[in-house]
Structure 1
């Protein structure tokens, strides 16, 4: 795996790369010379996609079915866990200033994951978005690094013990994406960069959320109140939302336009007053009455957002209701959370318990932070029946 800021490292000084006039669309998309082999060019065979040289009906970058291609990743060996050497048949992602050569393991993750919906599995809209993001990743290295880091994290979620920590590869791609992304945000943003910027920002939120510093509840916030444990994902999500007006993911030419329904749910107005929809025990704990509003009660919006997601079947939970609660972590309620206020912690616990069962990257943090909240509340507020009544299972929701 190599990275450099010079195009000469790829093409050699004074040399230009000749492209085939009649090559497959996959190679043209990836800015590679196609050898025009039939029925499958060598570039597509190496990359693990179906060559579309001879047909106009085969989608771009269509993965070869897993059972009909050899596995590139050696599982269960030290080599699989390390950074493998690059391919001699180089595959690049590059923009005007940065090059990155994908190794065999990177290609495997792209083929297996990046054409699918990783944020919420089985979401057809997200699957469509991710396939288009894959195409953009070849010309925006910060997006490629972010996508690879998310794929590696998802693979760890599927195939590693529940207490596994970030791998070297995850950290490498996460770090590279952050560096390149920060550089991009300091520059003028061109219209064609808006979608990759929003996709990268979303990926960085997932990486931050799914990577708590703690391995056990005892090491986790709120039991451990060290600054490094303080709701770092809240800051990252706010950073992403600060880009909304710049990139406008709902514009008609955006690849994220198909997510308009989810975005509309996130930004839909919450009730202006009252307790309707909130379970009576939760309303009583939060001090919410028929006369309450967001101006008079700091828990008001968060309680309504939690109540909405609790009403949804696990199989039907999407990012809309999940992010509605995230949107409510601001102002007075955010301050109460940081002060480890017991009522605010109960609301966060209930959200973790529901969202963590349904969204894998929330579950990776909820595995340690949800039990930590329960332990903290039992230790310091165990005598408050109204608090403990809403914490029936000891935070072990992922073991049920």
Structure 2
């Protein structure tokens, strides 16, 4: 059989070979404004920046830290090569991997899921891999941590009614958490606690809540063993504010579990825990102005100075008369001569004001201002201390019935033990001063 000609295996392709250059049609560019003062991140990504400050829209959607060059660097960058080199250095730093923590000045609510996974994994490292297998395998534990972190950013933070505290929690605290595992575990604990109270019954989540809080307290206790300084004050204050949440909203609480029925002083530990922040501020107050809490604490102090009238250091002025009579307070009484004077002084203004969300925010701080000596009186069921405590509980219970209560979650946690306290007080026989009240 004869072989076919080589040409039998060839294919013919039709190719157009133009004899002149093909010109593309002209399209006029749309009128636009150049972005000359955009952020460094957008310049590095070669996208147009809307120049919004402190965070441009593209960085907010992208989940990046928006960084602007200083005006001096911007004006000189076009005329000198050293400035250009410096801008390039800033740009490289701003667009670095998101695994590194960024300056505490931007919100992270727009982080993608992959970014959140990287952030949580980089912060907790292998520690999260040691989570009990009852929660799930390593990947499942990481998924729960990411879900808890995202829930904290998108839901839990939004329940804060004080504007100054809200802004710090929304923008700065999460950045500090990337460098402090104890604070990251605290945020995870708050997020999963919130999820479990809104949607109870998930056993894996409940175990995760217990583990996150366990690690948060363990690592926080270890951090407190080191001297407090300017570098760690922001994280310690943030954790102290949030750790008390778990004691106010226990997973399972029945009225008969209240300390007023059990008779165990240890069941009042939830009140003692609230004084942790005051203790830190007392020993390291000089570092607060330079922390992320410097501005909100300063603004809050101005309000409190008018509300609590700090200039009054003794006597009955500004005190609720019936409580002052009950506790034997005279014009010469001060906090050194009576354990009841300071709690009554801090509580009395709230009894004269109209209840609203802002007042509720201040009223809740009362429990964090109590001295350990007064808490011990409550543990010992001192009648007068319990009456003062009951007045505060009554205010919290009334606030929990207001229309804005859903935006203030701490009230719901405290009001759970209110009824039991009143029942206990009804069984106390004190002098006629108590009966008059």
- Please classify the TM superposition score into its range, dividing by the shorter chain length: 0.5 to 0.7
Q: Distance in 1 between matches of 2:346 and 2:334?
A: 14
- Report if the CA contact (8 A) 1:94-1:141 is conserved: no
Aligned counterpart for 2:120 among listed residues 92, 96, 101: 92
Cα deviation code 1:326-352 (max 9, x no counterpart): 323333x33421221222111111112
| 1:374 paired residue number | 422
Find out whether 1:139 has 2:170 as its counterpart: no
Q: Is the 8 A contact 1:150 1:206 kept in 2?
A: yes
Stretch deviating more after TM superposition (131-140 or 184-193):
184-193
Residue of structure 2 equivalent to 1:152: 192
- Distance in 2 separating the partners of 1:372 and 1:307: 23
Structure 1 residue 129 displacement after superposition: 1.1
Relative to structure 1, the CA distance from residue 247 to residue 236 in structure 2 (aligned partners, 3 Å threshold; closer, same or farther) is: same
2:263 corresponds, among 197, 207, 225, to 225
Partner of 1:4: none
TM-score if structure 1 supplies the norm length?
0.65
Pairs within 5 Å for 1:256-271: 256-259=293-296, 260-263=298-301, 265=304, 269=310, 271=312
Once the two structures are superposed, what CA deviation does each residue of 1:19-61 show, in whole Å capped at 9, x if it has no partner? Answer: xxxxx979xxxxxxxxx8999xxxxxxxxx721569769x845
Q: Please tell me whether residue 338 in structure 1 is matched to residue 376 in structure 2.
A: no
1:186 maps onto 2:225 in alignment: yes
Rate the CA distance shift 1:292–1:63 in 2: closer, same or farther, 3 A: closer
Counting matched residue pairs gives 323
> Could you tell me how far apart the structure 2 residues matched to 1:325 and 1:180 are?
25
**Which stretch has the larger CA shift, 311-320 or 197-206?**
311-320
How do 1:48-87 residues align onto structure 2 when only pairs under 5 Å count? 50-52=61-63, 60-64=106-110
Q: How far is the alpha carbon of 1:285 from its aligned partner?
A: 2.6
Query: Which has the higher Rg, Structure 1 or Structure 2?
Result: 2
Aligned residue for 1:111, secondary structure, equals: helix
* TM-superposed deviation, 1:64: 4.5
Alpha-carbon spacing, 1:132–1:244, altered in 2? closer, same or farther (3 Å): same
Point out where structure 1 has 5 or more consecutive residues left out of the alignment: 1-23, 27-35, 40-48, 73-85, 391-400
Q: Return the alpha-carbon distance in structure 1 between the equivalents of residues 118 and 63 of structure 2.
A: 20
Instruction: Give how far 1:287 is off.
Output: 2.9
TM-score (norm 2): 0.60
Cα deviation code 1:157-213 (max 9, x no counterpart): 55569xxxx93232111101111222223345564222112211222223234338x
Pair 1:173 & 2:212 matched: yes
Q: C-alpha separation between the residues in 2 aligned to 1:25 and 1:208?
A: 42
Q: CA offsets per residue over residues 271-316 of structure 1, 9 Å max, x none?
A: 3333333343333333334454434443222112111222332322
Matches for 1:1-400 after TM superposition, within 5 Å: 50-52=61-63, 60-64=106-110, 90-94=118-122, 99-100=127-128, 103-114=142-153, 118=157, 121-130=160-169, 131-158=171-198, 167-187=206-226, 191-211=230-250, 215-229=253-267, 231-244=268-281, 247-248=284-285, 251-259=288-296, 260-263=298-301, 265=304, 269=310, 271-312=312-353, 313-317=355-359, 319-324=361-366, 326-331=368-373, 333-355=374-396, 357=399, 359-368=408-417, 370-381=418-429, 386-387=433-434, 390=437
Are the aligned partners of 2:272 and 2:372 in contact in 1 as well (CA < 8 Å)?
no
- The answer (yes or no) to whether the contact 1:309–1:321 under 8 Å persists in 2 is yes
Coordinate RMSD, CA, aligned? 4.3
Q: Select the structure that is richer in helix.
A: 2
Q: 1:196 to 1:119 in 2, by over 3 A?
A: farther
**Helix, strand or coil at the partner of 2:261:** coil
Q: State whether residues 120 and 319 of structure 1, in contact with CA within 8 Å, keep that contact through their aligned partners in structure 2.
A: no
Secondary structure, counterpart of 1:154 in structure 2: helix
Q: How many Å separate the matches in 2 of 1:37 and 1:108?
A: 32
